[in-house]
């Protein structure tokens, strides 16, 4: 239930239970304990109104992140953050499915369902992430072969699962690449390992979800119930009961909700 509400991942919450940080009606929680109506739940001695987590329907937004925004709730440097660009939730909070660094634009999935987010991010799921990359100069066939076979980075072996040339004129060339890992700055670091300069990077797909062409910077699209069912199936989770119809598309102007 707490994972569903975005309080933490299942693994984190299990650790909190082992550390005695959760209480039901004043007693420490054990793994396998169940909540029932009227139970008084505390996490780190703070009351959690857990009933709301059960009542809320799952929502998933496709947000077109521009460069210059950071995927965090607060930024000490005062840079714009993606969560201030999203509609306010009365219950729980938006959870980003993976991250994009400040200089990477494109598709960012956000949801209020923590369990769905964790399932889509878990390394065992090996979800494909596809990026459109603009690079400077020409790239040899031997370099492309090395990037597909695997190169040693500071945090281990990494590779592109697929590379496709998408054209370009003059000094700039476009490629679409696919990775199945969420390591920090992985796409940039792979190109840079071959002394290739990346001048633009945009995520265009996460698993089965593709960035809609009509979705402009700072705008978001909300998945319909049918699309949610398909995403739950992809994540290996049972679909939820249907709720009221959702609007399919919402534009957003920076600074407003």
* Whole-number pLDDT of residue 241: 75
- The reported pLDDT for the residue numbered 103 is 94
Q: Which parts of the chain have pLDDT scores under 70?
A: 55, 242-257
Residue 242 is predicted with a pLDDT of: 63
CA distance 71 to 87: 15
Residues carrying an active site annotation? 101
What tens digit of pLDDT does each residue of 133-177 get? 999 988 999 999 999 999 999 999 999 999 999 988 778 999 999
Topology adopted by domain 128-206: Pseudouridine synthase (3.30.2350)
Among 239, 237, 242, smallest CA distance to 229 is for 239
Residue ranges of domains in the chain: 10-54, 56-124+208-250, 128-206
**Which class for 226: exposed (0-12), middle (13-18), buried (19 or more C-beta within 10 A)?**
exposed
Q: What is the pLDDT of residues 199-213, one digit of tens each?
A: 999 999 999 999 999
pTM (two decimals): 0.80
Class of domain 10-54: alpha beta
- The CATH H-level (homologous superfamily) assignment of domain 56-124+208-250 is Pseudouridine synthase (3.30.2350.10)
- Asked if domains 10-54 and 128-206 share a fold, the reply is no
Q: Please check whether residue 124 is in contact with residue 167, taking contact to mean a CB–CB distance below 8 angstroms.
A: no
């Amino acid at each position: 239930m707490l994972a569903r509400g975005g309080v933490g991942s299942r693994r984190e919450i299990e650790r909190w239970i082992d550390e005695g940080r959760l209480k039901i009606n004043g007693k420490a929680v054990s793994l396998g304990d169940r909540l029932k109506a009227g139970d008084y739940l505390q996490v780190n001695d703070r009351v959690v109104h857990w009933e709301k987590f059960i009542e809320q329907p799952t929502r998933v937004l496709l947000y077109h992140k521009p460069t210059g925004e950071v995927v965090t709730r607060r930024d000490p440097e005062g840079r714009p953050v993606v969560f201030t660009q999203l509609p306010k939730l009365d219950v729980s909070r938006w959870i980003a499915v993976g991250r994009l660094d400040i200089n990477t634009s494109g598709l960012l999935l956000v949801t209020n369902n923590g369990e769905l987010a964790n399932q889509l991010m878990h390394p065992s799921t090996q979800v494909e992430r596809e990026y459109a990359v603009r690079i400077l100069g020409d790239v040899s066939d031997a370099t492309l072969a090395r990037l597909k076979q695997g190169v040693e980075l500071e945090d281990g072996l990494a590779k592109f699962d697929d590379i496709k040339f998408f054209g370009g004129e003059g000094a700039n060339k476009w490629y679409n690449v696919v990775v199945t890992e969420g390591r920090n700055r992985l796409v940039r670091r792979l190109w840079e390992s071959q002394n290739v300069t990346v001048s633009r990077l945009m995520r265009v797909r996460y698993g089965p979800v593709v960035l809609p062409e009509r979705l402009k910077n700072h705008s978001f699209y909300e998945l319909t119930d049918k699309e949610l069912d398909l995403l739950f199936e992809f994540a290996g989770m049972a679909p939820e009961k249907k709720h009221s119809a959702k609007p399919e598309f919402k534009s957003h102007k920076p600074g407003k909700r």
